[in-house]
Structure 1
Amino acid sequence: MKTYVIGDIHGGLRGLKQVFERMSLKPDDRFIFIGDYVDGWSESAQTLSFLINFSETYTCVFIRGNHDEILYNFLKKGDKNPTWLQHGGESSRISYESFSKAEIEAHINFLENLRNFYIDEKNRLFLHAGFTNLHGPENEYYPNMVYWDRTLWEMVCALDKTIDKNNDLYPKRLKLFDEIYIGHTPVTRIGYSKPTHFANVWNVDTGAAFKGAVSVLDVDTKHVWQSDPVWKLYPNETGRN
């Protein structure tokens, strides 16, 4: 069994389908989606429908992203957060205009059952953003930090590359897990186009919402598959640019 982690999609369903077409998927493979399935390109609702159908064939773990939580509040409670609408939410709102009440209910159920984090059998942590508690994400004082926090990524980006786990200066929260996989903050912001790691933290958000690709990483071999830059697959749209 192979385990794959999939970076932020942001409604770029064409990118997700394309990268899967470039892989050899097998029924016993496991797919861990790191969150932010929506908000950006025009197929947010369609992306959730695809994921629901995909999980009927493959073993999937779906992590909750901050954009997914805000979409849930819109679908469940009608909350039209103005900031959300300005940062990709409007495209998600429009994508649901042709969906039936039953389809929307199925998506609400999907969003309600997303996981805040996942720890696999090899002590690898998967979550959307990060965590601040020195005893791990399950002890976070504010549970929604796991899909909003940026300090974990900022910390490892600034960490002296000569400091390893045996050094007292190595951050304690990193020592809890063999590896940590996140999204949330595009690596394109620091000049990378593929999943990137510092210390034991891998960031698989390669900026699909903007000018980057949808990326898939084999967590054992670290082999990467990518779609074309998603904006090229939606030539008449702006995404979150």
Structure 2
Amino acid sequence: MKRTIAIGDIHGGLRALTQVLNKVEVKDEDKLIFVGDYVDGWSEAAQVIQLLVELSEKVTCVCIKGNHDVWTEAWLRSGEVNPVWYMHGGKETMESYEGFSDEEKQIHLNFFENMPLYHLDDENRLFLHAGFTSVKGVEAEINPEYFYLDRTLWEMALTMKTDIPEDDSIFPKRLKLYKEIYIGHTPTTNFGVDVPMNVLNVWNIDTGAAFKGKVTALNIDTKAFYQSDNLPDLYPDEPGRNKS
């Protein structure tokens, strides 16, 4: 049976991503949807991108663009170092590209440039990195940056009662537009949770890989999930990101 697997933030943790993919036991007919932030944090950002490039040639992959991916794409294109990016994992990403040829970097740049900002499947399930603000949906969003920066959608969901039916008048209009919404960007570990969080029809699958958490893959039909070890255990000689 074909599976659709959503995979949360990775942040340069190649060892964690490899663990998760091995646990998933990816098959040729599977569809993998990554919700962004492949880079910035642990020491193998370039290697993560290389794996995704190669994986995309073998199975169906949708690699959505996150805010850290936007920063890395800009650096690969121009060579300019955004100081905010540098302080939030960019340094480690730059170092991970040592030994990569200009041709290999160009392949990675092309990969970043072709990443969509969101994905809507045939069952009206939406996947994006952060959120959106328009009550008319993603196609009406006036600022594309919200797709990889907005936290209000998740914050709004968290404030709602989890048992309200979709036809209730207070059910958020934004959420009514889609059967389910899958996001990353805001670590569940911020709320003391190290597994995917579900509120109403929103699923947050960023389980804190950038910091002390894990990389998570979720089967969106069965809701079974697979997780790596905690990233500090996989990279014991690295401090990891200590900034949000």
TM-score range, shorter chain: over 0.9
Deviations 1:45-100 (A, max 9, x none): 11000000011111101100000001001110122111111111110011112110
Partner of 1:204: 205
TM-score w.r.t. the length of structure 1 is 0.98
Shift of 1:162: 3.4
Partner of 1:70: 71
Counterpart secondary structure, 1:61: strand
Percent of aligned pairs with the same residue?
Answer: 52
Distance 2:131 2:165 in 1: 20
Shift of 1:24: 2.3
1:190 aligns with 2:220: no
1:10 aligns with 2:14: no
Shift of 1:136: 0.8
Partner of 2:147: 146
Partner of 1:135: 136
1:229 aligns with 2:230: yes
Distance 1:151 1:197 in 2: 16
Q: How many pairs align?
A: 241
Distance 1:79 1:150 in 2: 27
Question: Structure 2 unaligned runs (5+)?
Answer: none
Deviations 1:197-231 (A, max 9, x none): 10100000000010111100000000010000011
Counterpart secondary structure, 1:89: helix
Counterpart secondary structure, 2:75: helix
Partner of 2:39: 38
Counterpart secondary structure, 1:110: helix
CA contact (8 A) 2:6 2:34 kept: yes
Aligned Cα RMSD in Å? 0.8
Distance 1:53 1:141 in 2: 34
Distance 2:169 2:23 in 1: 43
Deviations 1:98-146 (A, max 9, x none): 1100000000000000000000011000000000001111211111110
Partner of 2:56: 55
Stretch of structure 1 that moved more, 135-144 or 175-184: 135-144
CA contact (8 A) 2:40 2:89 kept: yes
Distance 2:31 2:162 in 1: 31
Counterpart secondary structure, 2:24: coil
Distance 1:239 1:164 in 2: 41
Counterpart secondary structure, 2:40: coil
